[in-house]
Structure 1
Amino acid sequence: MYLLNSEGILFVSNCFGEDRVASLIAREFKFLCKQHKKSIRIYGATLMGNGREYTVNNIELVYHSPLPPSGGFPTKSIKGFFADLISGSFFNILKFVKALKKLYNEIDTIFVVGDIFLLFLSKLALKNKKFFFFALAKSDYFMPHYLIEKWFLKTNNIDVLTRDELTAKNFQSDGIKAYYFGNPMMDNLFSKGLNVEIPEDKRVIGILPGSRFEAYGNFKKILFLIDKIERNDLFYIAALPHTLDIRKIIDISLKSGFSVSQKGYITRLKKDLKEVLLLYDSFVEVVNLSEIIIGLAGTANEQAAGLGKPVITFKGCGPQSTEVRLKEQEKLLGGASKYIKNFPYGVIREIEFLLDNPDEVELRGRIGKERMGGPGGAKKIAGWLFSKIFSLEEN
């Protein structure tokens, strides 16, 4: 049993989706500490982004940085790499390491959520500390870890958590201490109970444009798609995250030929007989109301599939929604998400196919639920982490 000698634990994550997972685990861990009367300081640090997920979960944020021009994917395109280079974003990595080094005497345990590179940076800053690693960025379903990554984990004797059972079993067969307790991405997905009126004669399609800067271009592309769909029995609802500026969304809508009206928390777009509702921070409502999802997001696409809805994707306008990434997501989700190369008409045919084949909708929904797992992962992981760190009195 590993015993905590100092009074601090640091949760480290890459960015948006990883921040959310790390903060949920940290919140559950904090609850256990309070329940068992353990005095410990809990910190959070994100390599990129504002770290909002930590602050809303009452975790002390010790480092955050602006999102780089590449959106956090500098190796996915030459353009993104040089944009980050010119902007000086790579210096944020050095600032991150420096910030963690300042915490050296205040923490003894580090829980890293994301990729091996983040784990390496954290170990570089906090040598001789106890590390736990949640390998959220990769899965053997679509992107197995490289041999050198496995060597690093094994050589450093790191306990590894995985996002699925397949990856955990493969790690174990390679002699790595790996565990699977569920996927916290499916935790804390609650409906706000918003009253959204849907015309009785309409079928609902959900829209997930993403949460990063490219989402504006993605949204414009989705409006273009909607304009090309000839059916008039469809009703569209878009889930907009807090990171998107409604003024920019409205400007895009107007330039795309849609009229705009606002009432309360709902913004309504209209063009001929096409109607689109825009809802902020209402992801679960949008997914639950929809038969199928048009998604150009990362985490949100996976969560929608995990909630049982088939996701249709196509190439978007940035590093989060490239053909490569969305095809990887298709593999990860076992076909619950489907990438369509032919835009817009191939996408329209896929929408028509799903609307006319409820059995296929049900099949893809079931696959998505199986691949993502149910809620409760954060609580299980926090419990495991707590038992690894403390000798509980009942033991």
Structure 2
Amino acid sequence: MSDLSRLSLASNTPAATSRLQLLVLSNGHGEDVIAVRILQELQQQPNPPDIFALPLVGEGRAYQNLNIPCIGSVRTMPSGGFIYMDGRQLMRDVHGGLLQLTCSQIKAMRRWVNSQKRLGNKRAILAVGDIVPLLFAALSGANYAFVGTAKSEYYVQDEVGLLPRKSKAARWENFSGSIYHPWERWLMSRRRCRAVFPRDSLTTEILRRWPIPAFDLGNPMMDGLEPTFSPQQFYSADVRQQELARSLVVTLLPGSRPPEAYNNWEVIMLAVSALMASFQERDSVFHTSGSVVFLGAIASSLDCNILCQTIQSQGWQTHPESPIPLPDTNALTFKQRNAYLVLTQQAYNECLHWGDVAIAMAGTATEQFVGLGKPAIAIPGAGPQYNPAFAEAQSRLLGPSLILVEQPAEVANVMRSQLQDPDHLHIIAENGMRRMGKPGAARRIANCLLERLGMGHRA
């Protein structure tokens, strides 16, 4: 029986007589956002659960925006959550009180579970992230479900077979036949684990080799990306002429965490300058009408004044309006020769949808851009997030849709070769959509959670 068929059967199940009490555990900003997307769908259900949160990393602002109460201590660690690629970051967190914070969070979780038990309520845990929230959930004594955001079989294999790796140590990543190690699979196969939601179909297929209740319902990262303005709204009826005449749009993704994102922006602007020189020499190779638009998707956590200093230092002049419509009256526009550069902090979805290709030094944003079926060119930075190890792992995750270059000057040649090959662009489109999934995953997961955790499954 397919996963969607199971969910349709679940909709005919009689409603539970008491409201489910759900505690959400997540360990990072991106995980918080994914969790909130699922929770928003849960809140739209006829008999929604009472929802509580315990963010294990950071302050959980995504939950605060949804007015979901946090039950324990929250604190931002020095690493910002990026410890799995760098042992030094882990030691910084340990010195910053990580162990004490973890102990207090485990106690808070158990207090919450015990209090719900004394009240006779149904209680369950939703773990979002990696083995840390999964282990917390297993220790809780309640039924739980797991949304696995950190691991994918694509890190080690694709549909053809294992990926070649240079390091002998890397071969241990799937020594037991899966990217998920035996101890992780043990946690997912416990009786109290009612559902596991991997991030892609390949990972689900592999996990089903063991007694794990894995459901292939998609990746919530691809939800909520619909633009206010779509490119199709602004072209004439002659599609062939549109494609020949319209501007080339390059999306710029510097990441969201200062000060790293400011350093990434300086690197990206070096790539933009190299592209400008290349466009001037060979406009026809890039099949543009001579106009190029660079769209900077800038997080609200960044100061655009700092980014503008880098832009103006490279010869860009302020311009009164954006060459393309954006739902952002505060967007900043610059012009240099026949090119425009737009910075926006309120039109993220448009930046993803308008772009033909991206220059990327970001985590989630890069994956979402690729998931829309588009190529991205990545330049590894100094970290702590977008360092060479992270970028190399992301290139395995995203396959041919993400091309790594070592230096900003290499971007021009790579972009030229990508845009000259329509057959390869078609492969990239199919690859990105297959690896990242179709929109609507949050709603499908929410429906499944209610069936698996809330109806007839008292802890």
TM-score, normalization: structure 2?
0.75
Q: Is the 8 A contact 1:186 1:375 kept in 2?
A: yes
1:33-92: CA deviation from partner (whole Å, max 9, x where unpaired)? xx14x6x42112322234233234443344574543323122422442344344445544
Is 1:316 equivalent to 2:381 in the alignment? yes
Q: 1:129 to 1:390 in 2, by over 3 A?
A: closer
Residue in structure 2 matched with residue 299 of structure 1 by the alignment: 364
Code of the residue aligned with 2:57 in structure 1: it is: M
The equivalent residue for 1:69 is 78
Shift of 1:193: 3.2
Say if 2:353 is the partner of 1:288.
Answer: yes
1-structure distance, mates of 2:219, 2:112 = 29
Q: Which of 113, 119, 128 is the equivalent residue of 1:113?
A: 128
Q: What is the aligned partner in structure 1 of residue 174 from structure 2?
A: none
In the TM superposition, what is the alpha-carbon distance from 1:338 to its structure 2 partner? 1.9
Q: Who is 1:44 aligned against? A: 53
Q: Displacement, 1:156?
A: 5.8
The structure whose residues are more often strand, as a share, is 1
CA radius of gyration, larger in? 2
CA contact (8 A) 2:77 2:93 kept: yes
Does residue 27 (structure 1) correspond to residue 40 (structure 2)? The answer is: yes
4+ residue runs over 6 A deviation: 1-6, 194-198
Contact (CA 8 Å) 1:209, 1:295: kept in 2 or not? yes
2:306 corresponds to which of 221, 245, 248: 248
CA contact (8 A) 1:266 1:279 kept: yes
Q: Alignment RMSD, CA only?
A: 3.0
Specify the SS of the correspondent of 1:309: coil
Aligned residues: 385
Report the equivalent of 1:210: 255
Cα distance in 1, alignment partners of residues 59 and 373 from structure 2: 30
Distance in 1 (alpha carbons) for counterparts of 2:73 and 2:348: 25
Q: Which runs of 5+ in 2 are unaligned?
A: 1-12, 117-121, 157-178, 236-244, 281-289, 322-328
Q: CA deviation at 1:197?
A: 9.4
Residue deviations 1:99-123 (CA, integer Å, cap 9, x gap): 4344231472100011012221344
Aligned-partner Cα distance in 1 for 2:90–2:310: 27
Letter in 1 for 2:123: D
Q: What is the CA–CA distance in structure 2 between the aligned matches of 1:386 and 1:201, rounded to whole Å?
A: 47
| CA drift at 1:254 | 4.3
Which residue type is aligned with residue 59 of structure 1? Answer: I
Partner AA of 2:125 in structure 1: I
Which one-letter code corresponds to 2:384 in the other structure? P
User: How far apart are 1:4 and its partner, in Å?
Assistant: 8.8
Distance 1:201 1:367 in 2: 25
8 Å CA contact 1:14–1:46 kept in 2: the answer is: yes
Distance 2:88 2:384 in 1: 10
- Equivalents in 1 of 2:338, 2:98: separation in Å? 45
Paired residues for 1:157-176 under 5 Å: 157-158=192-193, 159-176=195-212
Q: Which residue of 2 aligns with 1:60?
A: 69
Distance (Å, rounded) in 2 between the aligned partners of 1:65 and 1:301: 28
Farther-moved stretch of structure 1 (97-106 vs 229-238): 97-106
- The structural deviation recorded for 1:228 is 2.1
More deviation, 56-65/142-151: 56-65
Residue 148 (structure 1) aligned with residue 190 (structure 2): no
CA contact (8 A) 2:360 2:377 kept: yes
Q: Is the counterpart of residue 227 in structure 1 residue 273 in structure 2?
A: yes
Distance 1:91 1:269 in 2: 49
8 Å contact 1:294–1:312 — kept in the other structure? yes
Match of 2:294 among 233, 236, 243: 236
Distance 1:271 1:89, change over 3 A: farther
In structure 1, the partner of 2:149 is 136
CA deviations on 1:287-317 (whole Å, 9 max, x unpaired) are: 2211111111111111111111111112023
Letter in 1 for 2:424: E
Is the 2:42–2:446 contact (alpha carbons within 8 Å) kept by the matching residues of 1?
yes
Cα pair distance change 1:6/1:100, threshold 3 Å: farther
Give, in whole Å, the separation in 1 of the partners of 2:61 and 2:80: 16
SS of structure 2 residue aligned to 1:59: coil
Identity of aligned residues (%): 28
